[in-house]
Structure 1
Amino acid sequence: MKTYTAVIERCSDTGLYVGYVPGFPGAHSQADTLDELNHNLQEVIEMLLEDDSHS
């Protein structure tokens, strides 16, 4: 399994955690908790990798 590094910030307006994977277009998400954000980013990466393999 490949490891990706995400940049995570907390939005001062909404209080949500916002994360993205540098160099991986489309790999971004937001969530109320860090655990939820990690899960969301994993799902996004899996979907993007699946879409890329079908191209």
Structure 2
Amino acid sequence: MKAELTAIIEAAEEGGYWAICPEIPGANGQGETIEEVKESLKNAIQLILEDRLEDIRRGLPQDVIEETISIP
């Protein structure tokens, strides 16, 4: 899956950076560098989306249709 999301990055008072993704509630990351905080945020987003997908798949009927869609 490929999507473009927003990363809001701020310097942390104790050093390093923290970041949130406003499109994905609960997604946040932290790191010593901007690259580290972006990677941390990407990992958090991926885990949240995987967890939500697994959660919704539980209890679905066998004949459900699942397809991939693209967001331009």
Q: How large is the RMSD of aligned CA atoms in angstroms?
A: 1.0
Aligned length: 54
TM-score (norm 2): 0.69
Structure 1 gaps of 5+ residues are: none
The percent identity for this pair of structures is 33
> More strand per residue: 1 or 2?
1
Letter in 1 for 2:10: E
Structure showing greater Rg: 2
Please, what TM-score do these two structures have when normalized by structure 1?
Answer: 0.87
Higher relative contact order (CA 8 A, sep 6+): 1
